[in-house]
Structure 1
Amino acid sequence: MHKILKHIAPLALIIVGASACDSKLDVLPTQSLDENLALSTSQDIKVTLNGAYDGLGDGDVYGGGFQFTGEFLADDREALFGGTFSNLDEIWRKTITTGNTQTLATWQDSYSAINRANNVLSALSVVDEADRAQVEGEARFIRGVLYFELVKLWGKAWGDGDNNANLGVPLVTTPTRSITDEDYRTRASVQAVYAQVIDDLTKAESLLAATDAGDDASYATRDAATAMLSRVYLMQGNYALARDAANKVIQSGARELEGSFADVFATGGESNEIIFRTAVSDQDGVNSMNTYYAPATFQGRGDVRVQIKHTDLYEAGDVRKTFFTTASNRLFTRKFLDQFGDVPVVRLAEMYLTRAEANQRLGTAIGSTPLADVNRIRTRAGLGALGTVNLAAILKERKLELAFEGNQLDDIKRNKGMVGTKPFNDNSLVVPIPQREMDTNKSLVQNPGY
């Protein structure tokens, strides 16, 4: 199904749901088809699903927007943002204004993709029975991961006060096809959003076919749903479930670690180590990580320059310490040098580090010991094996292995760490509701500090 439809995904952009729900609420779609026509056949639903993937991979969403927003907010001058875009500079400096166009784009594009997924889920009865479970699983995966990313950026961290009282983001689980008063949703609680995320991803995991080594990682698979569940549980501090989910992905055997660290990023994001990625080609998709993290010699803007403060964290002999390129006397990560490379979202190395951390915290050895899992990652990096390991060593390994991939803010918040002198729950580390949304939807309440 996917190989046939991959290059016609843009067609879904004019199908019902072309405008975001809870965003652009004062603007009716300028291009739409009657829902009875747009969602009348199984093929229509599959095209709409591909449109949801297209939205998921948008450059302001999983094409890089979520990743670099988290990295900029978490950065304490281990990297320097030297670009000219003031909206990105605001994020890096933790001085985001409510008129920031980057955060507005991430909000609107995410809700647009959610609406496409909602359209798919509303018309499952039309889908051929043989494909129905797979289609539902993929749509739920898309909706679940989007709400997970949204609540992490726009809501307080899980456990920072009362999850039932803290405001998350509006929950929309039915299609928005015309605007009525009912579409001006209030913000659901952090608890409610996480519950929706877990429900969607758990159902996706049960519906999607078992992952095969040959599966295209730019589409949702069972392992992808399980890996994202592992992330959700880790954010919640539910270490037993995070460990078990990570172990399940590892034990499935569908993905394997590359023999060398460089090989993970040498194939345009198509390494078998990558569990889920967003697709980019010269015809469709945007790799915003390349745009901002790569120098001009690799078609990027060279906006994010790595500093000695970061490279000094690596041990001598660590191949990751040299996984940088120099241009104009500035240092850049080599992870995103391919302009048309797919953007990695989650990879197997993270699952080993999650299992190690959770086992260490719980005093268990499900799947393997924490020491063995950490040494597996260290050995791949060209380092000698440790004789003993503690939590601090595991967290440091996680930081270095996953550097610049979008995990840093999550790890600081869940571990109640600091960004420079700012505590994890500082108001400036939570993104403000875009002013355009506040002006349009009077039911929204702004985050503290804005």
Structure 2
Amino acid sequence: MKKILPGLLTAVLLLGGLESCNNNLNVQPTSSIDSATAFSNSSDVQAALVGCYAGLQSTNLYGGYLQFLTDLIADNGDEAFVGTFSQPQEAQRKALLITNSQVSATWLSAYDVINRANNVLANLGKLDTPAQQAAVEGEAKFIRSLVYFDLVRTFGKAWNDGTPPANPGVPLVLTPTASVADAVPLPRNTVAEVYAQLITDLTAAEAKLTTSGGLNTFSASRYACAGLLARIYLQQGSYAAAAAAASRAISTTARLNAYYGDNFGYNLATNSASQLVGNTAEDIFAIQISAQSGSNQLNTFYSRTRRADVNINAQFLGLFETGDSRRTLYFTTAGVTYTTKYDALYGNIKLMRLDEMLLTRAEANFRAGGTPTGPTPVADVNTIRARAGLPALTAVTLAAILKERRIELAFEGFRLADLKRNTETTIDPTGAAVAWNSPRLVFPIPLREINANSNLVQNAGY
């Protein structure tokens, strides 16, 4: 993994220059610790696992930028970025540059987390008990799979675009990179190879976490593993498997919050959000944000109380039926509408909730046909509509399911993947049509990576 190279080389140069200095200055750099020292006992491995979760909090990943940029590049007029930052502007124009610093930072942060997870998995034998080994292995594989899934569907073609066994995905790195010598310049694995690895790892992780983890904690659980499998199968068009996985993710102890805004700490009476929003009974997996840990970049860009860089357009607001309580999370002032989903400065970023799994199961069962896994599609959709204060449907169509999904999960990072798997056309800010399989909707491999690794092949169109 290339991210460590600059730090390692800098350390070597600094140490070389200090040879003639006082021995008191010849200390080990605190930013680089030998793995034998860093993973000497069970507590060290468990601490390293916590470090994997901390890596997920990066602003370049699930701290906000990953969801934000993918939504902008997919947008067909629902939102408008009106800020001055060039990286989001490129995304909204569907004209990312290979030098886009945020795209590069996302790649680097992703492989940093992958390397952290690989280090944990390489040291499972140092854990005290088999139960600890099973739990830590399951959580580490979930984390690695979560990152790889978003990498492959952002930097590679969609599963339904061309031939997955031939389409380049991203490099699969499954062992730790501890030194310059370990940094092998790997080529890109195919999209099919990455998906296969994800399904293998998550299937194992779900089994490992059968008696470990749980809902509403910061750690991954078997329900989170099943939920991520449901996403993968839905993206592949494996609908029966997606419905079954979504059903496993829907725990009997999970429940929808009474009000949709409770997911985001929004108080309808005061038209404001709490500054600290934790997990709720609806959450399956969330990124933990607090004043001491993590940063919510979605708050930075979307909130009307911060930069207020994103306006919500009339096109999106027109999707709501009369009486839909989800509409209350869109606040208009001086003729401009903002979403209040991210008004909480330290609001946890919800990555996987019960509502997503209900809609995934409804869609997968509808597309698969035959006897549904769990409740019927119309029953699952009506569960979502009942919470929103809407009347029940007597029958459901695919369009109705997708509309509920678009409203329910709006501006949470789902739009690009949904657009591609549903082969929807989007538009750029000029109004020109952009096909679902356009190279403009695939992130470029960062120039920094191409320069450092001659085995990497750039995406088409860049």
- TM-score, length of structure 2 as denominator length: 0.89
Is residue 2:372 matched to residue 1:373?
Answer: no
Where does 1:149-168 land on structure 2 (aligned, <5 Å)?
Answer: 149-168=150-169
Name the counterpart of 1:391. Answer: 398
Counterpart residue number, 1:257? 256
Is the partner of 2:61 in helix, strand or coil? coil
SS at match of 2:311: strand
Q: Secondary structure at the match of 1:183?
A: coil
Deviation of 1:24 (Å):
5.5
What is the deviation of 1:285? 0.4
What is the match of residue 296 of structure 2?
287
Change over 3 Å in CA distance of 1:211–1:81 after alignment to 2: farther
Structure 2: how far apart are the matches of 1:53 and 1:217? 12
Distance 1:382 1:151 in 2: 37
- 2:310 match: 304
Residue equivalent to 2:350:
344
* 1:151 maps to amino acid: V
Alpha-carbon distance in 1 for matches of 2:457, 2:415: 27
AA matched with 2:72: F
**Matched residue type, 1:442:** S
Partner of 2:284: 275
Letter in 2 for 1:125: G
Partner of 1:405: 412
Match of 1:345, SS?
A: strand
Distance change (3 Å), C-alpha of 1:273 and 1:228: same
Alpha-carbon distance in 2 for matches of 1:243, 1:140:
22
Q: Distance in 2 between matches of 1:416 and 1:360?
A: 17
SS in 2 for 1:164: coil
Where does residue 196 of structure 2 map in the other structure? Answer: 195
Task: Look up the match of 1:334.
Answer: 340
**Identity %, equivalent residues:** 46
Tell me the SS of whatever aligns to 1:387.
coil
Tell me, yes or no, if structure 1 residue 439 matches structure 2 residue 439. no
Shift of 1:22: 3.5
Greater CA drift, 320-329 or 159-168: 320-329
* 3-state SS of paired residue (1:228): helix
Query: Contact between 1:211 and 1:254, CA under 8 Å: does it hold in 2?
Result: no
Partner SS for 1:96: coil
Task: Evaluate the alpha carbon distance shift between residue 309 and residue 288 of structure 1 in structure 2; reply closer, same or farther with a 3 A threshold.
Answer: same
Pair 1:28-2:28 in alignment: no
The alpha carbon displacement at 1:227 in A equals: 0.5
Alignment counterpart, residue 359 of structure 1, candidates 360, 365, 386: 365
1:205-220 mapped onto 2 (5 Å cutoff): 205-210=206-211, 215-220=215-220
Residue identity opposite 1:245 in structure 2: A
**AA at the equivalent of 2:438:** D
Equivalent AA in structure 1 for residue 37 of structure 2 = L
For residues 379 and 224 of structure 1, the distance between their equivalents in structure 2, rounded to whole angstroms, comes to 25
Native 8 Å contact 2:57 2:288 kept in 1: yes
Indicate if the aligned counterparts of 1:58 and 1:109 stay in contact, CA closer than 8 A: yes
Q: Aligned in 2, Cα 1:379/1:163: closer, same or farther, shift over 3 Å?
A: same
Confirm or deny: 8 A CA contact 2:171 2:188 kept in the other structure: yes
Deviation at 1:209, TM superposition (A): 3.8
2:319 aligned residue (313, 316, 329): 313
Q: Contact 1:115–1:175 at 8 Å: present in 2 too?
A: yes
Deviation at 1:257, TM superposition (A): 0.8
Query: Do residues 232 (structure 1) and 232 (structure 2) align?
Result: yes
Q: How far is 1:23 from its partner?
A: 3.6
2:438 is matched with which residue: 403, 420, 426? Answer: 426
Structure showing greater radius of gyration is 2
Tell me if the contact between 1:22 and 1:170 (Cα under 8 Å) persists in the aligned partners: no
Alignment of 1:86-105 (within 5 A): 86-105=86-105
Letter in 2 for 1:293: Y
CA RMSD of aligned residues (A): 1.6
Deviations 1:148-207 (A, max 9, x none): 000010000002111111000111000001123761111100011111111121111111
Q: Quick one: distance in 1 between partners of 2:7 and 2:168? A: 26
Residue of structure 2 equivalent to 1:132: 133
Distance 1:396 1:75, change over 3 A: same
Q: Any conservation in 2 of the 1:357–1:394 contact (CA below 8 Å)?
A: yes
- SS of residue matched to 2:374: coil
Bigger mean CA offset, 100-109 vs 25-34: 25-34
3-state secondary structure, aligned to 2:180: coil
Q: Are residues 52 and 243 of structure 1, via their aligned partners in 2, closer, same or farther at CA, if it must alter by over 3 Å?
A: same
Aligned residues: 425
After superposition, give the CA deviation of every residue in 1:399-448 in whole Å (9 maximum; x if it has no partner). 11111111111111111111121111100000000001111111111000
Quote the Cα distance in structure 2 between the aligned partners of 1:182 and 1:350: 38
Cα distance, 1:326 vs structure 2: 3.5
- The 1:63–1:32 alpha-carbon spacing in structure 2 relative to 1, beyond 3 Å, is same
Contact 2:378–2:395 (Cα < 8 Å) also in 1: yes
Tell me the TM-score normalised to structure 1 length: 0.91
2:314 equivalent to 1:324: no
Q: What per-residue deviation string (whole Å, max 9, x for no partner) do you get for residues 357-391 of structure 1?
A: 11111223221111111111111111111121111
CA distance in 2, matches of 1:327, 1:206: 50
Alpha-carbon separation, structure 2, partners of 1:301 and 1:432: 27
Q: Secondary structure at the match of 2:146?
A: helix
Which amino acid is 1:232 matched to? I
Deviation of the 1:239 alpha carbon? 0.3
| Larger displacement relative to structure 2 (264-273 or 405-414) | 264-273
Check conservation: 1:22, 1:185, Cα contact below 8 A. Answer: no
The 10-residue stretch of structure 1 (53-62 or 424-433) with the greater mean CA deviation from structure 2: 53-62
Secondary structure of the 1:28 match is helix
CA distance in 2, matches of 1:217, 1:435: 38
Distance in 1, matches of 2:71 and 2:229, equals 21
Residue 65 of structure 1 and its aligned partner are, at CA, apart by 2.2
Aligned residue in 1 for 2:268: none
Secondary structure, counterpart of 1:233 in structure 2: helix
Give the letter for the 1:335 counterpart. Answer: K
Q: Is the 8 A contact 2:135 2:213 kept in 1?
A: no
Cα distance between partner residues in 2 of 1:380 and 1:54: 33
Residue 330 of structure 1 and its aligned partner are, at CA, apart by: 2.3
Kindly state the Cα deviation for residue 117 of structure 1 after the two structures are TM-superposed.
Answer: 0.4
CA 1:413–1:109: 2 relative to 1, 3 Å: same
CA contact (8 A) 2:216 2:280 kept: no
Unpaired stretches in structure 2, ≥5 consecutive residues: 12-30, 266-273, 428-432
1:128-155 C-alpha deviation (Å, 9 max, x unpaired):
1131111111111110110000001000
- AA at the equivalent of 1:141: F
